[in-house]
Structure 1
Amino acid sequence: MQIDPAKYKSISSGFGVLLKEQGVRGFFRGWVPTLLGYSAQGACKYGFYEFFKKYYSDIAGPEFSAKYKTLIYLAGSASAEVIADIALCPFEAVKVRVQTQPGFARGLSDGLPKFVKSEGALGLYKGIVPLWGRQIPYTMMKFASFETIVELLYKHAIPTPKDQCSKSFQLGVSFAGGYVAGVLCAIVSHPADNLVSFLNNAKGATVGDAVKKLGLWGLFTRGLPLRIVMIGTLTGAQWGLYDAFKVFAGLPTTGGITPAPAATVPAKV
Structure 2
Amino acid sequence: MMNKSTRRHRVEEFTAGYYGVCTAGGMLSAGATHLAITPLDVLKVNMQVNPIKYSGILSGFSTLCKEEGASALWRGWSGKLLGYGIQGGCKFGLYEYFKKIYGDLLVDQRKGVIFFLSSASAQIFADVALCPFEAVKVRVQAQSTFAKGLSDGFPKIYANEGFYGFYKGLLPLWGRNLPFAMVMFTTFEHSVELMYHNIIQRKREDCSKTQQLVVTCLAGYAAGAVGTLISNPADNIVSSLYNKKAVTVMQAVKNIGVANLFTRSLPVRLAIVGPVVTLQWFLYDSIKVLSGLPTSGGLRRQLKDTELLSYEATP
- Fold conserved (TM > 0.5)? yes
TM-score range, shorter chain: over 0.9
Paired position in structure 2 for 1:96: 138
Aligned counterpart for 1:134 among listed residues 176, 179, 182: 176
- Equivalent position amino acid for 1:186 in 2: T
State the aligned residue count: 260
Task: List per-residue Cα deviations over 1:70-98 (Å, max 9, x = no partner).
Answer: 10010000000000001000000000010
- Structure-to-structure mapping, 1:33-48, within 5 angstroms: 33-48=79-94
- Structure-to-structure mapping, 1:1-269, within 5 angstroms: 1-61=47-107, 64-65=108-109, 68-202=110-244, 205-255=247-297, 264=305
Q: In the aligned structure 2, how far is the partner of 1:2 from the partner of 1:220? A: 11
Q: In the aligned structure 2, how far is the partner of 1:260 from the partner of 1:132? A: 28
Deviation at 1:11, TM superposition (A): 1.4
* Stretch of structure 1 that moved more, 212-221 or 129-138: 212-221
Q: In the aligned structure 2, how far is the partner of 1:262 from the partner of 1:191? A: 41
Q: In the aligned structure 1, how far is the partner of 2:228 from the partner of 2:133? A: 20
Kindly indicate whether structure 1 or structure 2 has the higher relative contact order, using CA contacts under 8 Å at least 6 residues apart. Answer: 2
Paired position in structure 1 for 2:32: none
Task: List per-residue Cα deviations over 1:83-128 (Å, max 9, x = no partner).
Answer: 0001000000000010111111111111111111111112100000
Q: In the aligned structure 2, how far is the partner of 1:247 from the partner of 1:211? A: 44
Deviation at 1:210, TM superposition (A): 1.3
* Stretch of structure 1 that moved more, 110-119 or 89-98: 110-119
- Residues 82 and 136 in structure 1, CA contact (< 8 A), matched pair in contact too: yes
Coordinate RMSD, CA, aligned: 1.8
Paired position in structure 1 for 2:10: none
- Equivalent position amino acid for 1:108 in 2: L
Gaps of 5+ in 2: 1-46, 307-315
Deviation at 1:261, TM superposition (A): 8.1
Gaps of 5+ in 1: none
Paired position in structure 1 for 2:16: none
